[in-house]
Amino acid sequence: MQHKVILSLGSNLGNREDYLQEAIHQINLRVGTVVSVSGLYETPSWGFDSHHFLNAATLVHSYFPAEDILAEILQIEKELGRNRKDSEGYQARTIDIDIIAYDDAIIKMTDLIIPHPQLAHRKFVLMPLVDICPDWVHPESKTSVKDLLKNTGDTSALTATGTLIAPIDKYKNLFEKYTVIEGNIGSGKTSLVKKISEDFSITPVLESFENNPFIADFYQNPECKAFTLEMHFLLERIDQLSVLNNSTKYISDYHLEKCLLFARQTLNKNEYALFIKAFNKLSFNTKSIDSYIYLHQPTDKLLRQIKTRNRSFETNISSGYLEKIGQAYENQFELIHAENKKRIDMSQLDFKKNPADYMTILSDIFSR
């Protein structure tokens, strides 16, 4: 699950805008995806006399716990020239990064208090926060950020001076109306679809395998349960896809052709003949895809990821079965018709553990 993390950034030494932009770049590669960035605001130094600050706020989607995020942003500060001295109180700095909020969590630790305890008293935090999360509500006071800004006692004058760039901005207009991300069992396709849908505000179309009452029995007795399993998947997928419209962007973790791919592997000759007759009759009016992204994972990594998610009905999946399905996907990839069609090697990528890998995946999706 991705966490919504709000960070406040400030700089009052050197090329302030460059320090802020580099901090955002490093956060995006090491902490999580920076999905939005506020405007830049210049304000007098708060609590001490020094150069004026440039301040901004970012919304980050991260898989990491709050303590790990704190450790990483402290390291980023250090690399960008920040020298924290506990005994000196407020001081000029090349970069300052504070965790303002972590989902709706209330955290009180020695080195980490969330929401930030000074949030309501700092206009230079509240105004950028309104830019990126205007509906955010303080989890303790239950006060909206707009009301916090309206009622703050901080009378500092803030001047809007410009904008910064979120690293994923360059991809926001590149997703087509209907994108499909496919891959073998355990390839990470559903997790990636969920992440992209959240990061880019695209409507997800997710396979609800848990609603298929035949899936557990199939893995116990494939020959007897395959036809009912595949027919249930077909009917459910048709129901999902039949309501898609042309005015909404969608991203899905399956292509309807997946029905045929698995049916070829699991059904006998007579069952498959009946199944394809039903498929052709039901699928003629479904929406065409624009982009097809196939995630290739080696079998040993698939098995590890299947084991990690610990679904009881998947315990009997063998490497041989995965290899057979994997070859079927490779064959299907050549036959798929889509304006943008990519095969991405995921063997060395893990976008949950390494945010930089996510940027690699996005780059591969839109490479020409």
Residue after which a domain boundary falls, among 104, 139, 167? 167
**Residue 198 neighbours by CB under 8 Å, 6+ apart:** 2, 61
| pLDDT at position 199 | 98
Mean pLDDT of 19-38: 98
pTM of structure: 0.92
156 and 179 co-located in one domain: no
In sequence order, the β-bridge partners of residue 54 are: 11, 42
Count of the separate structural domains present in the chain: 2
218 and 302 co-located in one domain: yes
Band of the pLDDT at 47, cuts 50, 70, 90? low
146 and 201 co-located in one domain: no
108 and 182 co-located in one domain: no
| pLDDT at position 83 | 76
Has residue 69 got a pLDDT over 80? yes
Q: CA 177 → CA 192, 247, 258, 289, 351, distances in Å?
A: 17, 8, 20, 8, 24
Contact 46, 93 (CB under 8 A): no
Chain-wide mean pLDDT for the chain?
Answer: 92
145 and 177 co-located in one domain: no
155 and 197 co-located in one domain: no
179 and 295 co-located in one domain: yes
**Under DSSP, is residue 15 helix (H, G, I), strand (E, B) or coil?**
coil
Residue 289's domain comprises 171-366
Q: Tokens 């880019």 label which residue?
A: 200
| pLDDT at position 310 | 83
- CA 308 – CA 350 distance, rounded (Å): 14
243 and 344 co-located in one domain: yes
Helices in 284-342 by DSSP H: which ranges? 299-309, 319-335
Which of 158, 25, 151 has the alpha carbon at shortest distance from 97?
25
Mean pLDDT of 102-118: 94
Q: Where are the beta strands (DSSP E) in the chain?
A: 3-11, 33-37, 39-43, 53-62, 96-102, 107-108, 113-114, 159-163, 178-183, 203-205, 250-252, 291-296, 340-345
Task: State pLDDT tens for residues 213-227.
Answer: 888 888 888 788 899
216 and 85 co-located in one domain: no
Task: State pLDDT tens for residues 305-329.
Answer: 999 888 877 888 899 999 999 999 9
**Under DSSP, is residue 183 helix (H, G, I), strand (E, B) or coil?**
strand
Q: What is the CATH number of the domain that holds 337?
A: 3.40.50.300
249 and 138 co-located in one domain: no
133 and 211 co-located in one domain: no
- CA 28 – CA 356 distance, rounded (Å): 7
Residue after which a domain boundary falls, among 144, 167, 190? 167
Has residue 42 got a pLDDT over 60? yes
133 and 191 co-located in one domain: no
Q: What is the CATH number of the domain that holds 136?
A: 3.30.70.560
